[in-house]
Amino acid sequence: MRLQGGRVSGSISQPSTAINTGEPPRRGPLVTALGFNQILSWGSSYYLLAVLAKPIVADSGWSLPWVVGGISLGLLAGGVASPYVGRTIEHHGGRLVLSCSSILFALGLGCLSLTVSLPMYLAAWLIIGFAMGSGLYDATFATLGRIYGRNARSVITMLTLFGGFASTVCWPLTAFLAAELGWRGACLVYAGLHLVVCLPLNLLVLPRGNPAPSSAAAPAPPSATLPRDGSSSRKKMVEFALLTAIVTLNSGLTVVISVHLLSILQTRGMGLAAAVALGALIGPAQVGARMIELAFGRFYHPLWTMIASTTLVAAGLMLMQDPFRIMAVALVVYGGGVGLGSIARGTVPLRLFGPLGYASLMGRLAMPSLLAQALFPSLASFLLVHGDANLTLTIVMGMALANVVLVILLRTVAKASR
């Protein structure tokens, strides 16, 4: 990989297919449809085992690490596929990719509901993993960046407002479906929703072909036009490396909390209903933080959003060390940080490297972060089985504090390169 004109290039290729030069679609219907899809996609994959892991263990007799290993395998598959997904969106737009993700979600969840053996269970998660790699935030952000160019920041923020309700909506929904239909029935219901709701929405709202970014002709901001000297190229390489490390570390620690939060709360003496109710605070906290970003984000560099995100995540995890008295406050603070982090994940690369090649760049950033998400839940499962919840939280908190340092370093390097 090399840098040209302040942008990451090399394996990040430019679109070669015909481009649709028409007006970009209206933001309201597109964001609403994609936002609803994000709620179901996150809730039926990333957040699924937070509720269903224990019922699956009880029904199948498989150990918890093997059950959680399903999502790890899925995230691994998504990480491997993500660079190809990014290049496909860069060349052909996101309509085909996001529509295929809905089909893969339906297929994977349908197979999961029918599984009778551990290999079949893991194979179902492999399919779900490819759906995650082609249908969650990274692919959707890449699609929005391809459509709206430098104007995508507000659209990305609006989309994450919907995504913030994924755990709030789907944790109680999954618990209800599991209680009424069993965990297999819950998976089958989600499969049907992807097929009859999400797929038609993607086909309806996303433009055909490869849309030209609406701001492609706008002058590049100073951050995207740097001299082509070796010093500037090296600094951009450092920025890209730091950004990759930050996104990867943040993805790893947040997936541990997402998958194991309810289990951690239950090991501290809470019932499932109380743990679900307390964990549901994260969703509104995410949305509240994103609304603040939507209102004021245009006044500051998105790196400040990333700094606020990592600081709040670290503070929330520190507060979680107290078992009960301030757990609600801890989860609200943590949720606010996670909410801002999702926005920063899409907007910081757009600001630092510009819209040209943005979809491919998002694919490259997604790969190590999804691999981290594949590894960390299984490691945390091992710690929970052989250690305790406090040790797991302490390790995750240390990772969050390290991320704060990395973001401050990225801000320093980025400021020096301007």
Give the model confidence (pLDDT) of 265-276 as tens digits. 877 777 778 888
Mean pLDDT of 37-53: 91
d(CA 89, CA 83): 10
Look at residue 21 and tell me whether its pLDDT is greater than 50.
Answer: no
Residue 202 CB: number of other CB atoms within 10 A? 24
Looking at 104-108, 324-328, 331-335, 340-344, which range is the least confident one?
Answer: 324-328
Give me the pLDDT at residue 209, please.
66
The predicted pLDDT at position 1 comes to: 42
Work out the pLDDT band at 181, boundaries 50, 70, 90: very high
**pLDDT for the residue 34:** 94
Helices (H), 194-229: 199-205
pLDDT averaged over every residue in the chain? 83
What fold does the segment set 25-213+226-416 form as a domain? Growth Hormone; Chain: A; (1.20.1250)
Which residue did the predictor score with more confidence, 118 or 367? 118
Provide the pLDDT for residue 416: 64
Residue 19 is predicted with a pLDDT of 43
Residue 64: what are its φ and ψ, rounded to 5°? Answer: -60, -45
Query: Please, what's the b/e burial string for 256-273 (b: 16 or more CB within 10 A of its CB; e: otherwise)?
Result: bbbbbbbbbbeeeebebe
Q: What does the pLDDT look like over 54-95, one tens digit per residue?
A: 899 999 999 887 898 888 889 889 888 888 998 899 888 889
Spatial CB neighbours of 387, under 8 Å, sequence gap ≥ 6:
none
Residue 407: what pLDDT?
94
**Domain boundary assignment for the chain:** 25-213+226-416
- The upper half-sphere exposure of residue 353, i.e. CA atoms within 13 Å in the direction of its Cβ, equals 31
pLDDT at 272: 76
The pLDDT confidence band at residue 220, using thresholds 50, 70 and 90, is: very low
What does the pLDDT read at residue 218? 40
> What is the per-residue pLDDT for 231?
55
